[in-house]
A and B are shown apart, each in its own frame.
Chain A
Amino acid sequence: MPRNETITELGLDEYKYGFVTEDKPVFKAVPGLSEDIVRQISHHKEEPQWMLEFRLKALEVYYSKPMPKWGGDLSKLEDTLDEIYFYLKPQDQMERSWDDVPQEIKDTFEKLGIPEAERKALAGVGAQYESEMVYHSLKEQWEEQGVIFESIEDGLAKHPELFRQYFSTVVPTHDNKFAALNSAVWSGGSFVYIPKGVKVEIPLQAYFRVNAERMGQFERTLIICEEGAEAHYIEGCTAPVYSTDSFHSGVIEIVVKKGARFRYTTIQNWSNNMYNLVTQRALVHEEAKMEWLDGNLGSKLTMKYPSCYLVGERAHGEILSIAYAGDGQHQDTGGKVIHAAPNTTSQITSKSISKGLGRSSYRGLCKVYDGAEGAKSNVECDALLLDETSRTDTYPYIEIDENTASIGHEATVSKVGDEQLFYLMSRGLDEAEAMAMIVRGFIEPVAKELPLEYAIELNRLIELEMEGSVG
């Protein structure tokens, strides 16, 4: 276990997207958490009774569980939780078309410089703004194919049976303290259903943005990919800078049925006062394939370990992740693979970059149950340190109860070398360009898996973060 170190907040990177658009919330709960707040949320969303009961039970579980003592420093989190708003709703109605989206919100997207992702109408875009879906469109062809891509609230309202059949089955309330908290106060997120045999060619994209000081963000996403279906879901977000601590705790549940393939891509870029504690897990059935592609930038502390539970024979799980820990940031990330069936295979590839007083930790679990004959897992984690003060740690947990399993683990730590810098500079690149090129090369194996516009955005974000890193 790592030492519980206080994160030094000296020399925090100036957050490059730190602008604020004036927000006009329609409803704002009082700060802090209580049973009353949970009832208000449920009432406001006009939820069925079972969901209210589910939330209240989750709240009890949340109260009963202690703060985790591992991972990062959560000692200041309880104070934060007393101050944040657990629910915020900017508009009463869901928006159906881009034209209906308020100008103020469009301005925010514009400033992010990534409106193309929405405007190209590549896909049905769900944009989450202040806890609520405000923009949601879906290509007609998908509706014809029977694909459901809704806000989580609409998923519950319009598809109650389907929703209830799968909700909380992948991440149970009692799984961990923050899963319990999310279960009590969840708001926003996506509900996706891909019917049997349907192949969704164009990625489903959701774009959301946290934009209210001290606002908690508890998105909940539930995805069901039926037998033989294929789809790719992309979520990216970036948040503005604030002076007080902020908190994000999402739960993502994915069910990948027999022979199906699903990929979930996230690029998260939080302001550096954000606690980002996310539970994302997929249940992977026979011969199905699940891929998590996870990029984590910013935040004060991120604890996030995308998981694949390989429960059917020959199921395959893959986790690719990139973490960038800037000055004063702690990225505690990695992945979990659980081999619970024969001939299941998995691959974890983790890349981290640390700078200044930043710290990145790889934390991974590989578990092979007795009877999961022929299971194979391979873990590769590479850390790159940009200077002398940054830090990286590796915490691989391996639990094998099956003799025939084969497990590989490889970890490397490298520092941007003087010889590499000199080599690139001797070809005419200045020091900053040379440094950026080495970093881009380092993340290339993961970045090349991203859709082009996201790969470009990721490189751009990292370059912005690296500005001023050359002395």
Chain B
Amino acid sequence: MSEPLLSVRGLRAKVDGEDGEILRGVDLDVQRGEVHALMGPNGSGKSTLAKVIAGHPAYEVTAGEILFEGEDVLELEPDERSRAGIFLAFQYPAEIPGVSIANFLRTAVNSRLAEGEEMDVFGFQRTLTEKMEMLKMDPGFAARYVNDGFSGGEKKRNEILQMAVLRPALGVLDETDSGLDIDALKIVASGVNRLSEADEALGVLLITHYKRILNYIRPDRVHVMMAGRIAESGGASLADKLEAEGYDWLHRAVAAV
């Protein structure tokens, strides 16, 4: 078997300028074409892991490595990681007033092309329209300013739209399900499923607090994060156990270590 799509080894990280590690030795492999769910209680470090993978400047990696397609990405800027194929769907996407989604996405697509090259405007428009239909988005959505005045559900859908257009090799979805009603959740989940179907090599790291989304996106692997480490890994049934029994048994197990 070739090297994993994503391989996190002994990763330790903290907020830049502060004491106290949030990630305390994370080990995690995601193979091409796999969907991994990362669960865990609030404050366990799930979102921090997502941001560190994407290269958020507020965090300092103190030890360990992140290999993406076998290459160490820790020295890469966030934009370089993005162009390499890592995509982070944000839990709280930033608002960029005055910049339309279409303009933003076209710029992002063009940033992947060679210097001086540009994607055909009409070709881009077709792609965008197609992806928006898939996510059941109103055609007028593309003209709206990025996340400006969006509802929680619109923001999350916009994140998946960007993933669909940018076609990364790895999608890290940070609590994409939170704040969604059941209809929106189904649309988002079916969008992710269709992306997986369209690209069999797509790897997904689905970070979630609740099992609910796993009723619609079946994970190949489930991991539970506790106090900055992966405390337990297993198949899809692990999520069922967490749903039924909560995290307490894991807390006790971690405390016993």
Contacts and interface: CB of A to CB of B under 8 A. Distances in A.
Contact of A444 (B81, B98, B162): B98
Contacts of B81: 426
Contact of A427 (B55, B98, B166): B166
B144 interface: no
Contacts of B146: 441
Contacts of A418: 57-58
Contacts of B95: 420
Nearest to B54: A426
Contacts of B112: 428
Nearest to B56: A422
A142 interface: no
Interface string A423-441: 1111111110110011011
A444 B103 CA distance: 12
B97 interface: yes
Interface stretch (B17-25, B86-94, B185-193, B203-211): B86-94
B111 A433 contact: yes
Interface residues of B, number: 31
A79 to B, nearest CB: 42
Contacts of A442: 97-98
A440 B57 contact: no
A277 to B, nearest CB: 30
B241 to A, nearest CB: 33
Contacts of A433: 107, 111
A428 B111 CA distance: 6
A340 B87 CA distance: 57
B98 A423 contact: no
B77 interface: yes
B145 A441 contact: yes
A423 B166 contact: no
A441 B57 CA distance: 23
Contacts of A427: 79, 82, 104-105, 108, 111, 162, 166
B219 interface: no
Nearest to A430: B79
A428 B82 contact: yes
Interface in A208-233: none
Nearest to B89: A426
Interface in A417-470: 417-420, 422-431, 433-434, 437-438, 440-445
A20 B194 CA distance: 60
B61 interface: no
Contacts of A443: 98
B254 interface: no
B77 A431 contact: yes
Interface residues of A, number: 24
B166 A417 contact: no
B148 to A, nearest CB: 9
A420 B88 CA distance: 14
B88 A425 contact: no
Contact of A437 (B54, B82, B90, B96): B96
B79 A425 contact: yes
A381 to B, nearest CB: 15
B78 interface: yes
B99 interface: yes
B83 interface: yes
B96 A429 contact: no
A444 B78 CA distance: 26
Contacts of A419: 94
Contacts of B166: 427-428
Given A418-B57, A437-B104, A425 B78 contact: yes
Contact of B94 (A420, A430, A431, A444): A420
B98 A426 contact: no
A442 B77 CA distance: 25
Interface string B150-180: 0000000000001000100000000000000
Contact of B96 (A424, A425, A431, A445): A424
Given A418-B57, A423-B93, A430 B98 contact: no
A445 B98 contact: yes
Contact of A440 (B77, B94, B99): B99
B94 A429 contact: no
Contacts of B94: 417, 419-420, 422-424
Contacts of A425: 55, 77-79, 82
Of residues A423, A427, A438, A441, which shows the largest number of chain B Cβ atoms within 10 Å of its Cβ?
A427
Contacts of B78: 422, 425-426
A431 B79 contact: yes
A420 B92 CA distance: 11
A417 B147 CA distance: 15
A434 B55 CA distance: 15
A418 B99 CA distance: 17
Contact of A441 (B82, B98, B111): B98
Of residues B54, B78, B88, B166, which shows the largest number of chain A Cβ atoms within 10 Å of its Cβ?
B78
B99 A444 contact: yes
14 contacts: A419-B94, A422-B94, A425-B55, A426-B82, A426-B90, A427-B104, A427-B105, A428-B108, A431-B77, A437-B104, A438-B96, A442-B97, A443-B98, A444-B145
Interface of A: 417-420, 422-431, 433-434, 437-438, 440-445
Interface of B: 54-58, 77-79, 81-83, 87-88, 90, 93-99, 104-105, 107-108, 111-112, 145-146, 162, 166
Given A426-B55, A442-B98, A443-B98, 7 more contacts: A420-B95, A423-B94, A428-B108, A428-B112, A429-B108, A430-B79, A441-B97
3 nearest A-B residue pairs (beta carbon): A441-B98, A444-B98, A441-B99
